């Protein structure tokens, strides 16, 4: 069987697609895979900050269209980029074992967030990271930073930044671990929902491909990502709002933390709850409801009003 794998063309996206290709070819006899590079809106409009994106699916919609048209058979996404609402004909067929979800600081040296000089310039395109950075230290100056991971690392020097914040998973996958100054704890910075995980999207009515990708699925990672996506869906928030979530499973119990923050980082609303892993999606919704009742709804309303 020949399988076409759709992906963005960035170095990290290609690493992820080739990882899936190699796992399928070595794990299932008779499968041969081809990588198909698809340019997304996120790749075309590189000058636009993430929170300014016109709609959801900035990095995924074009790939999904190819999946629906059967130009490709599997779409490989970073789970954090995939909107909570996807076309009904499509489904997440597998979530491979999740990499560590933390964000990291890269400075060019070995400074931590606490060590950085007063008024330090930190590069990030994420409102979620910006809000939590300012909550941790209100003196930071946040500079919008777009581009692929390797581009952002280069901009650390070219734009005279004191540090940049990126996801650990991408840094590890591309072999840049030696550049990490600090792995930021979840108590300081909750990640984006699904961060560190891959989502393999397939056509719902394609049993052969569905069966193939199941071989790559990690059940605990799938359950955790689904819980975080349910949390995000209930909030109706994405890259356009400072929202974070992380969950993990231990002894059939899912533990999930979530936060909603104003853009300036003041008065972050953060909670943790837990429940049975088989109720993971319901637990994610419950957490969202608790945050909304605790002031999160007002924060999100104010952010939305600023855009009107």
pLDDT in tens, 17-39: 999 999 999 999 999 999 999 98
Residue (of 49, 102, 98, 85) closest to 244 by Cα position: 102
Q: What is the pLDDT of residue 47?
A: 54
CA angle 54, 161, 120 (to 5 degrees): 100
Residue 301 has pLDDT above 80, yes or no: yes
Q: Judge contact between 41 and 58, C-beta under 8 A.
A: yes
Q: What is the pLDDT of residue 180?
A: 97
Q: Which residue has the tokens 């290609």?
A: 14
Mean pLDDT calculated for residue range 232-236? 94
Assigned fold of 1-96+197-217: D-Maltodextrin-Binding Protein; domain 2 (3.40.190)
What tokens does 171 get? 């840094």
φ, ψ (nearest 5 deg) of residue 164: -130, 155
Active site residues: 81
What tokens does 213 get? 């990708």
Q: Please tell me the distance from the alpha carbon of residue 209 to that of residue 182, in angstroms, as a whole number.
A: 40
pLDDT in tens, 178-218: 999 999 999 999 999 999 999 999 999 999 999 999 999 99
pTM, two decimals, is 0.93
Residue 51 has pLDDT above 60, yes or no: no
Same topology, domains 1-96+197-217 and 103-183? Answer is: yes
The residue with greater pLDDT, 27 or 146, is 27
Assigned fold of 103-183: D-Maltodextrin-Binding Protein; domain 2 (3.40.190)
CA angle 123, 306, 304 (to 5 degrees): 95
| Residue 273 exposed, middle or buried by CB count within 10 Å (0-12, 13-18, 19+) | middle
Domain ranges of the chain: 1-96+197-217, 103-183, 219-308
Q: Judge contact between 226 and 172, C-beta under 8 A.
A: no
Q: Please tell me the distance from the alpha carbon of residue 134 to that of residue 217, in angstroms, as a whole number.
A: 37
User: If pLDDT is split at 50, 70 and 90, which confidence band does 307 have?
Assistant: low
Q: What is the CATH number of domain 219-308?
A: 3.30.160.40
């Amino acid at each position: 069987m020949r399988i076409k794998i759709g992906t963005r063309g960035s170095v990290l996206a290609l690493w992820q697609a080739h990882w899936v290709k190699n796992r399928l070819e070595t794990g299932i006899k008779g499968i041969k895979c081809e990588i198909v590079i698809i340019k997304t809106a996120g790749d075309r409009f590189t000058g636009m900050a993430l929170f300014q994106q016109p709609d959801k699916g900035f990095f995924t919609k074009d790939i999904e269209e190819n999946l629906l048209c059967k130009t490709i058979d599997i779409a490989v996404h970073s789970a954090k980029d995939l909107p909570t609402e996807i076309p009904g004909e499509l489904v997440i067929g597998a979530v491979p074992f999740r990499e560590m979800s933390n964000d990291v600081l890269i400075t060019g040296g070995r400074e931590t967030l606490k060590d950085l000089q007063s008024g330090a310039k930190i590069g990030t395109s994420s409102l979620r990271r910006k809000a939590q950075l300012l909550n941790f230290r209100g003196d930071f100056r946040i500079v919008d930073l777009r581009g692929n991971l390797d581009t952002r690392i280069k901009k650390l020097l070219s734009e005279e930044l004191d540090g940049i914040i990126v996801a650990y998973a991408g840094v590890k996958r591309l072999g840049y671990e030696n550049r990490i100054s600090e792995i930021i704890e979840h108590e300081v910075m909750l990640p984006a929902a699904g961060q560190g995980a891959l989502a393999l999207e397939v056509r719902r009515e394609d049993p052969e491909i569905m069966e193939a990708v199941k071989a790559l699925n990690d059940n605990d990672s799938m359950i955790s990502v689904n819980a975080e996506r349910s949390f995000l869906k209930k909030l109706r928030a994405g890259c356009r709002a400072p929202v974070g979530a992380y969950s993990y499973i231990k002894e059939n119990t899912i533990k999930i933390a979530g936060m909603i923050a104003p853009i300036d980082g003041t008065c972050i609303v953060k909670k943790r709850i837990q429940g049975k892993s088989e109720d993971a999606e319901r637990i994610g919704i419950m957490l969202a409801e608790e945050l909304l009742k605790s002031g999160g709804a007002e924060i999100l309303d104010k952010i939305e009003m600023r855009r009107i």
